[in-house]
Structure 1
Amino acid sequence: MSKRPTIHDLAEAAGVSIATVDRVLNKRSKVRESTSQRVLIAAEDIGYHATGLLKKRVRESKPFKRLSILLQRSNDEFYEGLGAAIRSACSQETQFQFEVNVVFMDEVTPEYITEQIIKESKHADGIALVALDDHILNRHIEQLTANNTPVFTILSPLSTNTCTGHIGVDNRKAGRTAAWAISRLTKKAGKVGILLGSHRYLNQDIAEISFISYFREIKHSYELLSPLTNLDDDTLAYQATKTLLNNHPDDLTAIYSAGGGVKGIIKALKEAGKSKQTTLICNELTSYTRLALSDGTIDMIIATPVQKLASRLAELFSESFSSKKCHPLAPVQLSVDLHVAENL
């Protein structure tokens, strides 16, 4: 039977003294973060019996910060997954001990979101949020950043230039990719419907503009219809899709959904028997969009790389807290994940 690793073995594996290992284990005095991490990694490598205690000590030694993550729609699978990914990524961060409070906002008016920001700012050291652009909301964010509270926008940027940073996909590329896909996948030219939650979600606004600009640049016979807004709500998206189908029963070739409400779009297409005739490009891979992709209702999904976004957000918070003064960081634009039935 192999000998159980001793504290001497751990010190040798970590390249430190036994006294340093003792300080990490028993919190006798301050040890540099990098040294504590080296001891922990060595303990895991050699199977040291007190690895669990070491993890606890290393976690306790990190500065403590409270984060409030303001997302939308508590019953939305995508946002539930995003919230869980952010919690997980923040728990893995090595420089700080993060306590993460994820708040789902079922009301998306600027007034309500502003109320939540004010409420959370009373106890949060940092805030990240998904919100539509609004001057009142922006003013409160400007006040927070002026007081050295880092504020990051997720998915959709805001027009204020005082946010600590932004992280989301490259929406220009997302919109142009959707247009490219429709120009390649449709069997014949015709009318193209455009659905989005609101033009005040700047990510959707940019995606829609880029979608239209692609068609402007190529020779085509498509007719791009005026965009319809649905507040990313399934019921409103269902009604908007029904309107498109009723107004253009024979020549609606494709639909691009730059926002949410995809369940409603799928339902309307299936009810009308148009799920196979109408090319549908939409956002985010969830259980229901995956099923619709596999049965041919959806032709392509343009998805946010959720795990990458969550990990990078945790890093951005750490980078911001490590600075003595809160200052704007460069926006992070992630490449989209593309899904078709054959690569599920």
Structure 2
Amino acid sequence: MVARATIADVAREAGVSVATVDRVVNGRLPVREDTARRVLDAAHRLGFHAAGLIRSRLREQLPEVVVGVLLQRPDVPFYADLTARLTATITGSRLFRGVVRADFWSVDDAEDIAARLRRLGRRARAVAVVSPDHPAVAEAVADLAARDVAVFTLLSDLPTSARTSHIGIDGRKAGRTAAWVIHHTALRPGRVGVIVGSRRFQGHESREIGFRSYFRELAPGFRVLEAVVNSESDAATEEAVVQLVEAYPDLVGVYLAGGGIAGAVAGLRRVPEERRPALVGPELPPVARAALSERLLTAAVCEPIDRLCERLMELVVLSLEGEGARLPNHVTLPMDLFTPENL
């Protein structure tokens, strides 16, 4: 039977005295943060029974920081997952006691989004937001900046004069990658559909630009159709896919640049197998993963959500420390590309 770790064991492992470990465990006298961290790390390594208590003691000494999060439609699996991962990252910070204030918008109403931003900014030190680009939203972001509230745009950008930093993949490269996939998986040249969530999402616009530029430059035998706007609705996306297939017998590919992947998959299931175009999506929730596994979905060009959360926390910390000059204007993340062969 392995002996239970003692305070003396923790002290030896951390390179401190038994009295120091006792102070950290019981909170009797202040201990330097780096020393307390060494004690906590040693306690974890040894499986010390009071490791959880030490963590709680350290957390009590951290300053509380409220971070606002404004995202789209909590009923959509992608945004529900993003909310959960952002919350876990923020509340798990070892530098402050992170408190998340999350809000959501469902309708593309710029005045409503701006009002929600201002409400979050009244209570938060920093705000992360996914929003369409609109002057009313930019004005709200500028109001927050004037009150020293850092604003970080995720996935889709806003005017650079308004927000603090943007975090996301390169939209043009994502679009060109989607085009490359369709070019190399389509059985023949033909028409290609593209579906965007909104004309005001910069992220969707840049993906569409990259998508079209690839075909103009490298595959002129393909013809990219006028974009369909789906408001990131699964029902609208399903109908859009079916209508594209019915309207264009030579349709060979569809690129979904925004939300609605479950609807796109449902649409493909409604058309004859021999008429199904290659489909590239922007995310990989369970329904898309299953479709990719059965080769109904051709590929997914995705945002790396875990890396996005990590980079957001790094920038929040810099903003709290007053290191505005060190905050990058853009943080470009490497995209994740999933195919049936690398699930």
TM-score range, shorter chain: over 0.9
DSSP-derived class of the 2:49 partner: coil
* AA in 2 matched with 1:283: P
* AA in 2 matched with 1:148: D
Moved more, 67-76 or 11-20: 11-20
Moved more, 82-91 or 126-135: 82-91
Alignment match, 2:329: 330
Alignment match, 1:292: 291
How many aligned positions are there? 343
How far is 1:7 from its partner?
2.6
How far is 1:193 from its partner?
0.7
CA-to-aligned-CA distance 1:77-102 (integer Å, 9 cap, x gap): 11111111111122332211101133
Question: Would the alpha carbon gap of residues 255 and 51 (structure 1) be closer, same or farther in structure 2, given more than 3 Å must change?
Answer: same
How far is 1:146 from its partner?
1.8
Moved more, 49-58 or 322-331: 322-331
Output the CA distance in 2 between the equivalents of 1:99 and 1:318.
14
DSSP-derived class of the 1:69 partner: strand
Alignment match, 2:167: 167
How far is 1:326 from its partner?
8.3
Moved more, 197-206 or 87-96: 87-96
Alignment match, 2:37: 37
Q: Percent of pairs identical after alignment?
A: 37
* AA in 2 matched with 1:314: M
* AA in 1 matched with 2:222: Y
How far is 1:334 from its partner?
1.1
The answer to whether the 8 A contact 1:237-1:264 is kept is yes
Please tell me the root mean square deviation across aligned C-alpha atoms, in Å. 1.9
Output the CA distance in 1 between the equivalents of 2:276 and 2:338.
19
How far is 1:268 from its partner?
2.3
Moved more, 11-20 or 175-184: 11-20
* AA in 2 matched with 1:14: A
Alignment match, 2:320: 321
The answer to whether the 8 A contact 1:194-1:228 is kept is yes
Bigger RCO (CA 8 Å, 6+ sep): 1
The 5 A counterparts of 1:159-238 are 159-238=159-238
Moved more, 118-127 or 190-199: 118-127
Moved more, 79-88 or 15-24: 15-24
DSSP-derived class of the 1:189 partner: coil
CA-to-aligned-CA distance 1:223-245 (integer Å, 9 cap, x gap): 11111111111122223223322
The answer to whether the 8 A contact 2:160-2:329 is kept is no
CA-to-aligned-CA distance 1:159-195 (integer Å, 9 cap, x gap): 1423221111121211110011111000001101111
How far is 1:53 from its partner?
0.8
DSSP-derived class of the 1:144 partner: helix
Output the CA distance in 1 between the equivalents of 2:225 and 2:106.
30
The answer to whether the 8 A contact 2:315-2:327 is kept is no
* AA in 1 matched with 2:262: K
Output the CA distance in 2 between the equivalents of 1:267 and 1:49.
51
How far is 1:105 from its partner?
2.2
The 5 A counterparts of 1:238-249 are 238-248=238-248
How far is 1:24 from its partner?
2.2
The 5 A counterparts of 1:1-344 are 2-248=2-248, 250-274=249-273, 277-323=276-322, 328-344=327-343
Moved more, 316-325 or 159-168: 316-325
Output the CA distance in 2 between the equivalents of 1:47 and 1:265.
49
TM-score by length of 2: 0.93
Structure 1: gaps spanning 5 or more residues: none
DSSP-derived class of the 2:162 partner: coil
The answer to whether the 8 A contact 1:141-1:163 is kept is yes
